[in-house]
Amino acid sequence: MTADDSYGRLDDDDYPAYTMGRAAEILGTTQGFLRAIGEARLITPLRSAGGHRRYSRYQLRIAARARELVDHGTPIEAACRIIILEDQLEEAQRLNAEHRRAADRPTAGI
């Protein structure tokens, strides 16, 4: 990938653009916090060729939500589980809405 190719990916929410140090700085947390939410399987950072963790903006948003819960006294493992369940609920609601729309459509040829 050339430098020109990289610039186009900066708008990609899933592009792993941030090092662990920079991610911790952006979130105002420690690298240990990022390791902990990784161990809890809330986020799985990609690894650079040298084995260093790299985070996307999407992952930083999830980490920020976890930090918010932890800052309000929720244990880190519970915060990670809450976020996972919130995500599953949102996906289930989206699928239900799709099924409702499909069921409400008139069928052709009847």
String of DSSP letters for 24-69: HHHHTS-HHHHHHHHHTTS---EE-TTS-EEE-HHHHHHHHHHHHH
pTM equals 0.77
Given strand 46-47, what is the order of strands in its sheet? 18-19, 53-55, 46-47
User: pLDDT 10s per residue in the chain (110 long)?
Assistant: 444 455 556 678 889 999 999 999 999 999 999 999 999 999 999 998 999 999 999 999 999 999 999 999 999 999 999 999 999 999 999 999 999 999 998 876 65
Name the nearest CA neighbour of 6 among 16, 101, 67.
16
